[in-house]
Amino acid sequence: MKIYPALDIKNGKCVRLIKGNYNDEIVFNKNPLDVVKEFEDAGSKYLHVIDLDGAKEGDTKIITIVEQIVQETSLKIQIGGGIRKYDQAKLYLDIGVDRIIFGTSAIHNQQEIKKTINEFDSNKIVVSIDALKGKIKTSGWLKNTKKNIKDLISELEMIGVQSFIYTDIEKDGTLSAPNFEYIKQFRELSTNELLIAGGISSIEDIFKLEKINIDGAIIGMALYTNQINLKNVIKNFQ
């Protein structure tokens, strides 16, 4: 089980949103690099970064911050938020980011994902499928789509996608435990790597995810509120 501490960046600061609401944020630290170094000191090998401004506006906003993290830590970084084209993905991969997370492009521009896979290999690409009550959302969780999750996974696997993130928006930032029923349904749709985000609030939640063959957990709010001790989690799972 891979453990990904989450770093969400908005206006250059480390924040958490409640249920993806841009008007309901908590600022935890003004300097993202300080937070990342705490994760590394706790023993983390991985880091999950989301550019919230980029996700909303469809542009890359935090390249300088990410480059600093790459240079000053040894973490394997996966990054998403506003990365909708090959050129944006290449920008991050060229500075040493380990993996790119595509989200909105999975619905609207799969050719950009395919091009990135062809150029950099499938192990450099993750697709995030974010859903609210089973309905897929895009553009920083602000827009609805009629796309069916099963059909979307099938389309993406056909172009070479081998890793997915499933985020339950209703649970994200709430510390109310993941929606295990939705997660089980998603797990049954694909045998490829599956990471889970949204609602993870205890080490028991992570054990439950492991039992249903989930490959990784993305943990945010529970770390920032000290409900989960990262060092302890890593000792048990990573």
Q: Is the pLDDT of residue 91 over 80?
A: yes
Statement: residue 140 has pLDDT above 50: no
Q: What is the pLDDT of residues 10-68, one digit of tens each?
A: 888 888 666 555 555 677 777 999 999 999 999 999 999 999 888 877 777 799 999 99
51, 53, 130, 205: the catalytic one is 130
Chain segment 192-214, per-residue pLDDT in tens: 999 998 889 999 999 999 999 99
Q: What would the DSSP string read from start to end of 72-86?
A: H---EEEEESS--SH
Q: Dump pLDDT digits (tens) for 107-118.
A: 788 999 999 999
130 catalytic? Reply is yes
Q: What is the pTM of this model?
A: 0.88
* Cβ within 8 Å of residue 184, ≥6 positions away: 212
Amino acid letter at 55? A
Does the pLDDT of residue 141 top 50, yes or no?
Answer: no
